[in-house]
Amino acid sequence: MRLKAVLRSLLLAYGLTGLLLLLLAFVLFRFEPGEGTAAAGITFIYVASCLTGGFAAGKIMRKDRYLWGIITGLSYYVLLLIVSFMAQGKWDMTFAHAVTTFFMCLGGGALGGMLS
C-alpha cells in the first residue's frame, strides 16, 4: 500500500510536470520572454509538482502526511536526477543547483503533505 501510494503520487506529479512544461514551452516559444522567465517557470514547476504529489500521498496515506510528502518529493528528485543523467549522458548540474533543487522538491512535497 505504501509503495503504491508513492508511485501513484509520483505519477500525478510527473503528469503535472509534463503538462506544465508543455505550457511553459508554448509561452517561451510564443512570447520569447527571456532566460529568467524560463528558470522561474522551471522552479515553479518543480515546487508545484512536488506539492501536488505530496498532497496526493498525504490524502492516500492519511497518517504521517508530511513524511509521505517528503518521501514523494525525495522520489521525485531522485527520478529527476536519473532521467536527466540518462538523457544527457553526463552530470550537467552544479552542486549549488542540485542542492537547491533537492530542497525545493522536499519542501514542496512536505508542504503538500501537510496541506492534505
**What pLDDT sits at residue 72?**
96
Q: What residues make up the domain containing 73? A: 2-115
pTM for this predicted structure: 0.91
- How many structural domains is the chain composed of? 1
**pLDDT in single tens digits along all 116 residues of the chain:** 788 989 999 999 999 999 999 999 999 999 988 888 899 999 999 999 999 999 999 999 989 999 999 999 999 999 999 998 998 888 878 899 999 999 999 999 999 999 98
Query: Are the C-beta atoms of 81 and 99 separated by less than 8 Å?
Result: no
Query: Are the C-beta atoms of 68 and 113 separated by less than 8 Å?
Result: yes
Contacts of 62 (CB under 8 A, 6+ apart): none
**What is the distance between the alpha carbons of residues 107 and 69, in angstroms, rounded to a whole number?**
9
- Count of all residues that appear for the chain in the document: 116
